[in-house]
Chains A and B, each alone.
Chain A
């Protein structure tokens, strides 16, 4: 399978996007996000950071194509996003595995839907099962796995078709601290292999600083960009070293301050 990365398909542009949800029962519509503009270079890793309810997931849903923006455009590889598609892999907060399929069958769902040859699919599956450390669990049912293992399956499932863009909606938010760290390390190591553009939504400041090239900090609703922070930390990164770095502590302090700053100070 040829990776689509490197053909321009991984470039993302949000062009003055606003989104509102219709109000129920004659109430006025809810403005979820306002005037959101962002460009992501191919292969970059952007974390969207903000308090809950600030419209982070809405932005991810617009990029996924689950919803269309009320105002503005979302472009992937230069073309507007009109519907979901396999060029944008998704990992949800809940692993969302299909309980009637075993681990291997969950991972191969995408290629199967695309009608890829079985041999090729199995070879790709073996590769990602190895990368995600799922060897020996191929025949297990999802309900036999721990939360972290399920999220590994979800990662392999999203990644097996090697989409140029990977969307992650607080994928490790429900995991315990230990598991979360090993999943973050796993994500970084696989990304070194595949080189996809990653759009990662989180409310965890440490996670954003550990993972991202750029951290986009949101205001409370309606979500706008408050600040974009370029990470100064070289890769490969190690979490245990990172937290000892004074620059890390300083950035974390700035971000926490930026998040807490009341709206009227902008």
Chain B
């Protein structure tokens, strides 16, 4: 192995695929050799059977895809307003230090706060319906985007700002022509992080009186010791998150083709 030696895309993918295959095989072998209790760690075969069963019969009278769709819907319901509000407000914070100073204490207080701690208050204020669930995810995603965009706008190259001003740009034009496009790569990074954080908060959100969703399915199955369903849920959560991230990276390549090329 050579540190930092470049891999071709296909070469990297082949190595990743091999590592996952070996991992699943060891897991399978461990199950066969009874190295661990199938109740605590169900082998891959059993999870496949559970998946097949759930695909035909669903979980708690609802098809599996429905639970996935509900969870993705909640995350997007929170995520879209988080982007629409977070990006412009974050950029404005980065451009105007006064605004940043006004808002920053609240942002820095709430951002590291475990969102589980907010559940009682959110239930009291917003009830136990979808609004509470979406709000919890929104808060996490919004704060992540806000901080990322503020840093991106605040880090706008001094030379570019001077160029804009010298060409007669107004503050609004600076935002549109210089700050926003220049911040796009970092905006995408913060959106990727926000999807991750939002997806993480899903479990907290689906602890609020839910009866659908992948997060809820995992919590619900655990109380019946159905570790196979718990594992299946975890795999689905991981895969969905991975797919969402891949989609954002693909969009980023189209929107910011110049990123990383100087």
Residues of A within 8 A of B (CB): 64-66, 83-86, 88-90, 92, 94, 96, 98-100, 109-110, 112-114, 141-143, 161
Residues of B within 8 A of A (CB): 159-160, 162-169, 173, 177-178, 181-182, 184, 256, 258, 261-262
A residues in contact with B256, CB < 8 Å:
100
* Contact B262 A143, beta carbon cutoff 8 Å: yes
Q: Give which listed residue, B160, B162, B164, B168, contacts A114 with CB less than 8 A.
A: B168
A residues in contact with B163, CB < 8 Å:
90, 92, 96
Minimal Cβ-Cβ distance residue in A for B158: A66
* Contact B159 A94, beta carbon cutoff 8 Å: yes
CB-defined A-B contacts under 8 Å, sample of 15: A64-B166, A84-B168, A86-B166, A96-B159, A98-B177, A98-B182, A100-B181, A100-B256, A100-B258, A109-B177, A113-B167, A113-B177, A114-B167, A141-B258, A141-B261
* Contact A98 B181, beta carbon cutoff 8 Å: yes
* Contact B258 A143, beta carbon cutoff 8 Å: yes
A residues in contact with B261, CB < 8 Å:
99, 141, 143
Q: Give which listed residue, B168, B173, B181, B182, contacts A85 with CB less than 8 A.
A: B168
Give Cα A66–Cα B164 distance, bound, in whole angstroms. 11
Q: Give which listed residue, A64, A96, A110, contacts B168 with CB less than 8 A.
A: A110
* Contact A66 B168, beta carbon cutoff 8 Å: no
Give Cα A114–Cα B164 distance, bound, in whole angstroms. 11
- Shortest Cβ distance from B180 into chain A, in angstroms? 10
B residues in contact with A84, CB < 8 Å:
162, 165-166, 168
Give Cα A64–Cα B258 distance, bound, in whole angstroms. 30
List 19 additional A-B contacts (Cβ < 8 Å) besides A64-B166, A92-B163, A99-B262.
A83-B165, A84-B168, A89-B166, A90-B162, A92-B159, A92-B162, A96-B159, A98-B160, A100-B181, A109-B167, A110-B167, A110-B168, A112-B177, A113-B167, A113-B168, A114-B167, A114-B168, A142-B258, A143-B262
The SS class assigned to the B binding surface is: helix
* Contact A96 B160, beta carbon cutoff 8 Å: yes
Residue among B160, B168, B169, B184 with the highest chain A CB neighbour number at 10 A: B168
B residues in contact with A141, CB < 8 Å:
258, 261
Q: Give which listed residue, B168, B178, B182, contacts A86 with CB less than 8 A.
A: B168
B residues in contact with A143, CB < 8 Å:
258, 261-262
- Shortest Cβ distance from A4 into chain B, in angstroms? 13
* Contact A88 B168, beta carbon cutoff 8 Å: no
Minimal Cβ-Cβ distance residue in A for B184: A100
- Shortest Cβ distance from A91 into chain B, in angstroms? 10
- Shortest Cβ distance from A179 into chain B, in angstroms? 18
Give Cα A141–Cα B166 distance, bound, in whole angstroms. 22
Give Cα A150–Cα B4 distance, bound, in whole angstroms. 31
Say whether, besides A96-B160, A143-B261, A88 and B167 are in contact (CB < 8 Å): no
Give Cα A23–Cα B36 distance, bound, in whole angstroms. 67
Minimal Cβ-Cβ distance residue in A for B162: A66
A residues in contact with B159, CB < 8 Å:
92, 94, 96
Residue among B160, B163, B167, B256 with the highest chain A CB neighbour number at 10 A: B167
Give Cα A109–Cα B160 distance, bound, in whole angstroms. 12
B residues in contact with A113, CB < 8 Å:
164, 167-169, 173, 177
Residue among B160, B166, B178, B256 with the highest chain A CB neighbour number at 10 A: B166
Give Cα A84–Cα B174 distance, bound, in whole angstroms. 13
Return the 4 tightest CB-CB contacts between A and B, nearest first: A86-B168, A143-B261, A84-B165, A99-B258
Give Cα A142–Cα B261 distance, bound, in whole angstroms. 9
* Contact A90 B166, beta carbon cutoff 8 Å: yes
* Contact A85 B166, beta carbon cutoff 8 Å: yes
B residues in contact with A83, CB < 8 Å:
165
B residues in contact with A92, CB < 8 Å:
159, 162-163
A residues in contact with B164, CB < 8 Å:
113
- Shortest Cβ distance from B152 into chain A, in angstroms? 14
* Contact B258 A86, beta carbon cutoff 8 Å: no
B residues in contact with A88, CB < 8 Å:
166
A residues in contact with B173, CB < 8 Å:
113
* Contact B178 A98, beta carbon cutoff 8 Å: yes
A residues in contact with B165, CB < 8 Å:
65-66, 83-84
B residues in contact with A99, CB < 8 Å:
258, 261-262
A residues in contact with B162, CB < 8 Å:
64, 66, 84, 90, 92
Give Cα A3–Cα B258 distance, bound, in whole angstroms. 35
Give Cα A105–Cα B201 distance, bound, in whole angstroms. 42
Give Cα A89–Cα B166 distance, bound, in whole angstroms. 7
Minimal Cβ-Cβ distance residue in A for B170: A113
- Shortest Cβ distance from B236 into chain A, in angstroms? 37
A residues in contact with B169, CB < 8 Å:
113
